[in-house]
Amino acid sequence: MAKTAGFCFGVDRAVGKVYELAESGVKVCTLGPIIHNANVVADLEKKGVFICCSPDQAPTDGVLIIRSHGVPQSVYDEIERLGLRCEDCTCPFVAKIHQIAAERSRRGDVLLIAGDPEHPEVVGITGFCTGEHYVFSTPAQLEALITAHQLEQRPVSMCSQTTYHVGNWQQAKEIAARRCQKLEIFDTVCGATASRQQEAEELSRHCDLMVVVGDRHSSNTAKLREVCEKNCRTILLETAQEMLQQDILCAKIIGVTAGASTPARIIKEVLHTMSELLNDVQGEEFSFEKALEESLKPVYIGQRVKGVITSVAPNEVTVDIGTKHTGFIPLSELTSDSTVSSCDQLVAKDEEINVIVMRVNDQEGTALLSKKRYDAIEGFDKIMKAEEEGTVLEGVVTDVIKGGVLVTVHGVKVFVPASLATLRRGEDLQALKGQQVEFKIIETNERRARAIGSIKAVLVEKNKAIAEAFWNSVEIGKVYSGVVKSLTSYGAFIDLGGVDGMAHISELSWKRIKHPSEVVKVGDTVEVYIKDIDFENKKISLGYKKEADNPWNIFQANYHVGDEVKATIVSITSFGAFARIIDGVDGLIHISQISNERVEKVADVLKVGDVVDCKITEADIDRKRVSLSMRALLENQPRAEHSSRSMEDAVVYSTEDSDFEG
């Protein structure tokens, strides 16, 4: 028996007040059922307590009870307007949330509330919100809300229903803390609720069967069942009589817990009935009558059973499931693998097998069984457990569909939306098909056996760890191999392995370029070095061009003052022409150094693209300046000879189809 079971403080306080008033002879009316427990409500009705749906239905000569779930501010206003006598039994923990909602709304915060939007407690909380507020049931819904309403930079406060799922609340806090920059979290899950769920979780790990006692409409009772059934078979009972309809004798260890709205007397009745059932069978020896009774026990659709294979045919397996029914599994229900052509490829006679009952024919004494669906259910149980624990799963991307991809794990296909399939939007999803990927489960729907996963969540966590290691080891001058991720007019962004750096356009080439695409393309693997680091803003400046390719170093090593060179005219000015000696090194031919004759206009003698003979007359490597002279090559020739030549004769070569522009 769980230690934390039965009435919590708030419920006990509210129910005790109603009984006290009813027994004093006062006319008592509760605003909605005092708690979610039909037995307690029925007992109070016998004592004259009745239920109303709104304050205007309450008697003016009686007492109106506000239950522990609380009500919106508008209900208090109406009670005051009607002048009704009222006993406010709102749980103090719930009242605290009302105060938080009111204060934070007045301050201008967006309020995020974790819980069931239809639950009376949540309805009451939202009734104290005067500003923008949203209710989410699952962590995945929280993610969607933050994105849809752009809450990343807005002031946000977050609280929860007191009976909210503890595991989901932890996930929600992590999501909100990661995504919202201006966030304040209020831990409003009731301490008793948290203890109850944690205790039930631990107890269920050591039991074959868990019995949860409580009303089926109770939120915290439903959460207890949800927690327990992840670990073992779990049944929910409202009364001790329901125990007689359950098969508990097959369990060796049975755990019992109860919801916060379950009276102690009902818990005791259930325990007493269980003890009687167990005592009845203690010490009994095997008898034919008992064995016959066991063989006649009912088989129902959806039941999970363990059987022994009695025969194997190519298209069907016969199974003994321990009853009068002969179980059979068609090949189509044995496996989802379409490449398997015969049952004996998978199973053998006398092998134990877990199956689920699909159809029962009592007249023929047969039961259609499915191993494939049992595996899928078991697989989905593992998926729900992975969601609860935040476990990273591994699966294969089997399909690319509209809106995302399907990943198969434990025999279940998990849908991963396109926005959560890759680290960056717009990446090709087809590249994922057939790939083994790691992902997390962010949402499950047990009723529809559907699950939503996120590959991106795992990639983000990995990148975070990689980035942390990078920043701990990065230093100026260190060389990295990176991948070009994007190009802009001013540079290239390069992924260094979880951290992006930028190589400015001036760092991509020694010669002038108009766009980075002249040097690199998206997807290229390049070797770069750290040029500068901004630790505060987490920015990296990269260098790409190598010192060995520096054209001025090449020029200095291969050319000297006095050398004769061929140079290509690349631009014309009023004072001369610039000529390219090698890529990246241009020299100036001053107007006075073009010819022995006086030149009035440079463009009359030279044009862009011409290749001319000239001499290096000056070279200042530090200032990156070179002076050239065509005239120096003409001075050794007789002047008369030159005077009779046209200025065009000074041009040795002409390249009419040059790409250069003056």
Distance CA(196)–CA(5), nearest Å, equals 7
- For strand 110-114 and strand 155-160, is the pairing parallel, antiparallel, or unpaired? parallel
269: annotated active-site residue: no
Tokens representing residue 478 in the block: 């260190």
- Residue 173 CA, chain-centre distance (Å), reads 13
How many CA atoms lie less than 13 Å away from 312 in the CB half-sphere? 15
- CA 228 to chain CA centroid, Å, is 25
Q: In terms of DSSP bridges, do strands 326-330 and 304-312 run parallel, antiparallel, or are they unpaired? A: unpaired
Q: Write down the catalytic residue from 20, 78, 121, 635.
A: 121
Residue pair 272/228 in contact (Cβ under 8 Å)? The answer is no
Work out the burial of residue 559: count CB atoms within 10 Å of its CB; fewer than 13 is exposed, 13-18 middle, 19 or more buried: middle
Please report, to the nearest 10 degrees, the dihedral formed by the alpha carbons of residues 512, 517, 519, 521 taken in order: 170
Contacts for 426 with CB less than 8 Å, ≥ 6 apart? none
* Three-class SS state of 348: coil
Q: Show the DSSP H helices in 309-370 as ranges.
A: none
SS3 for 66-120, per residue? ECCCCCCHHHHHHHHHHCCEEEECCCHHHHHHHHHHHHHHHHCCEEEEECCCCCH
Q: How far is residue 544's CA from residue 112's CA, in Å, rounded to a whole number?
A: 48
DSSP-derived letter for residue 51 is: E
Using alpha carbons only, give the angle 80, 84, 85 rounded to the nearest 5 degrees: 115
Closest C-alpha among 468, 437, 467 to residue 453: 437
Which residues are known to be catalytic?
Answer: 121
